[in-house]
Structure 1
């Protein structure tokens, strides 16, 4: 068995949601792959959803490659399918080390390892640095269970070493490795991680501290996506794109100055309390065709209980602003 690393976004057995049949690649495994490549470690990917593979097709492709390390990502609605794939691979390739990443394992690492025996390890939280260190430990004969952010079995005990190490300077993580994926209609970009709001229905996967990439690094990625992958549509996956209006304005102004707004259509999330008319007009000029913001309820009492910091009047004001800006 070679030292090959394979990262897989499993397909849904029965597609139910729009994100089960996406026209965009999986940014999570792409970011992990990009960081591995940046550090001189070769890897490959299978995006079962983007490629419209069946579960059986995905299993056959994985077994055909016989990876030494298999990384699977899964949200909660995909965890059973991910384990089905892991178990089938383990049956044919028992030496393959299976590592789970993604939201489900990150929030329920102990339960997941107890329920699903074919997962050998879980990377908890942001995966780029932790998974890179995990791979190095495997290749160098070290102890991967000692790495920050790695959960593992120790006999009947589950060992959890906190959440994965995070990068305060997101530029250091590099760019998603879209070159490993089939062509897509849309290529997502994250310019920042974290959200300061206290919505009690949110898992806050990146924490409440907001960490930003430099404007130059984000613009370089968008230009690369245009030149190398023919990108014409980009969604910003920031939890709240306008959480810092100076950052949002700097990005929009750079997009306009570089002429990117004539080549790419943008979309992003905003918060009702972070949008005003000048910001909305700048988004429009930068070729944001629309934005999204949550309106979970129109009931003032329910909205107060959610601790989002908005009421019906804030939502209506934001909607009027966006409408005036023609977004």
Structure 2
């Protein structure tokens, strides 16, 4: 018996969690009475080449577009009239991975298309984000050749306008392209098409943003788990690592002040959220159904109302689910403590820099001191922090980086960035939309796109990642870049070898002790005098030296021991404390909150974080 709709997740979507947008669409279409099956081609390839090898490609440097390149020989029909440039050269390590995996692609496509044909769907919907465009084309072309009456639809971030229109020019075997949030439009489209197979439907379908998040149901992960079971021991038993959920869309900070480098959301920056009670019921329902209490919240930025409408309810539980969330970096301590009690074990706060002038160039709405305080408080509370250190922003100066390189040895007890990497210009960002306003003379797609698409393709409309024609004082100063890169590399190394340093106050209030295992430490352990403790408490928020009622000799001693930083004219404590020592909000916790920010992008009916640098 045939089904109505087959949704396909191509490589190289991650396999550690289900694909959120497809799972939401499966739920919406099933709610309309459609017979739906999701085929996870990403899981099938990971099982074939190995989880580790697959993950290396899925997370590879976007400058190579290695995942796209692997499907290049299978993505187009043979046509001598269509010319291609030679693909760019791959670094040796990626070339080795490419050559090892390439023989597995054709057999994978055979298996995927056999699986789809066995379902005899009337409609095949394929999602495309990150490095999935050519895999989607290869699957679509085979299905169209073998079952010409099957209606094939491409959706996801890579099909957003104008990318979808440009792909339509070169992928004639794909019938329709969906641009935008398709929660309602796609089920309507399928119902219309199934009712009248000859319906004259537009090739490019533009979907308006969803206005009420309650119309977006909880995702349906049943096919992901069924495919995991079907593949048996070929993939780790630990999968999935978490379940993705979407509780809001858009970015309330970006709607007011769009970060200059953020290309996420496109036309859907408008912020919308599910009520706290709805979000809680969705988390509870998913945990009850799948017996998994780990969630990767895919929101662009945490709704502020959740600090009162959702997190207290989670914190009141004896064992709340564990959550990953994207947040703004200037959260106060009491907010972070609430998040920790509510089960938020890891955050992505969009730190990006420890230089206030560079953060201002980004329009982040935070200072370097707020970013450092966040890292300090998260270490105290046991909250993991995911972040990158970016450089290459128009207007940056050497003096925005050289002082930071000198500070980093003192910060090695705080969670390091994943990388120190150059900015790229992403589609839909202010840098892309109005480059001239930032002194960028010209932008062009990164070189890896050439050779992946025909010469006549409109690469300017297809590409998501661009290079800008500009330079900065830092880019021209190799010594400072090398110093920053080396300092961050050593910082990361301390954590990578499992020897993450400490700078922590431990012990009862009557006899506190400072433990210092940083490489820069002047003393591994010392009793904390009351006047030092008082100064460190006062400096948990940044202050100018002349604003403090503290003996200057105490401040000088704390600076000499690298317990406080003197950075950008202000002093700040970087000493962490035992969580039980700070369960009550410290004095600074009730200070006025600054503005917040975060970044993400839309799936068909969901979203996923996009990289902000070539090495993300």
- The reply to whether residue 127 of structure 1 matches residue 218 of structure 2 is no
Equivalent residue runs for 1:112-261 within 5 Å: 112-141=167-196, 143=199, 145=201, 152=203, 160=204, 163-182=206-225, 184-196=240-252, 197=254, 198-205=258-265, 207-241=268-302, 243-244=303-304, 246-259=305-318, 261=320
Please report how far the alpha carbon of residue 76 of structure 1 lies from its aligned counterpart in structure 2 after TM superposition.
Answer: 4.2
Within 5 A, what are the aligned runs for 1:50-65?
A: 50-51=43-44, 52=46, 54-65=108-119
Distance 1:75 1:106, change over 3 A: same
- C-alpha separation between the residues in 2 aligned to 1:144 and 1:44? 25
Q: Pick from 310, 313, 321: which aligns with 2:366?
A: 310
Conserved 8 A contact 1:26-1:47: no
Distance 1:117 1:297, change over 3 A: farther
1:43 to 2:36 alignment: yes
SS of residue matched to 2:370: helix
Q: Secondary structure at the match of 2:131?
A: helix
Match of 2:556 in 1: none
Specify every segment of 5 or more residues in structure 2 that has no aligned partner in the other structure, as ranges.
48-107, 229-239, 384-616
Q: Distance in 1 between matches of 2:274 and 2:329?
A: 23
Shift of 1:144: 5.8
User: TM-score, with normalisation over the residues of structure 1?
Assistant: 0.84
SS of corresponding position for 2:207: coil
Deviation at 1:143, TM superposition (A): 4.3
**Are residues 278 and 26 of structure 1, via their aligned partners in 2, closer, same or farther at CA, if it must alter by over 3 Å?**
same
- How far has the Cα of 1:6 moved from its partner? 0.5
Is the 8 Å Cα contact of residues 4 and 42 (structure 1) preserved in structure 2?
Answer: yes
- Give the count of matched residue pairs: 302
Q: Mean Cα displacement is larger for which, 134-143 or 300-309?
A: 300-309
CA distance in 2 between partners of 1:185 and 1:94 (Å): 38
User: Shift of residue 109 of structure 1?
Assistant: 1.5
Counterpart residue number, 1:281: 337
Aligned equivalent of 2:323: 266
Quick check: 1:194–1:239 contact (8 Å CA) kept in 2?
yes
Residue 77 of structure 1 aligns to a residue in which SS? coil
Contact 2:18 2:224 (8 Å CA) reproduced = yes
Aligned residues: CA RMSD: 2.2
Contact preservation (8 Å) 1:268, 1:290: yes
List aligned pairs for 1:24-35, cutoff 5 A: 24-35=17-28
Greater RCO, 1 or 2 (C-alpha within 8 Å, sep 6+): 2
Report if the CA contact (8 A) 1:191-1:238 is conserved. Answer: yes
TM-score (norm 2): 0.46
Helix, strand or coil at the partner of 1:90: helix
Listed as ranges, the matches of 1:57-76 within 5 Å are: 57-76=111-130
1:129–1:165 contact (8 Å) kept in structure 2: no
Distance 2:245 2:308 in 1: 16
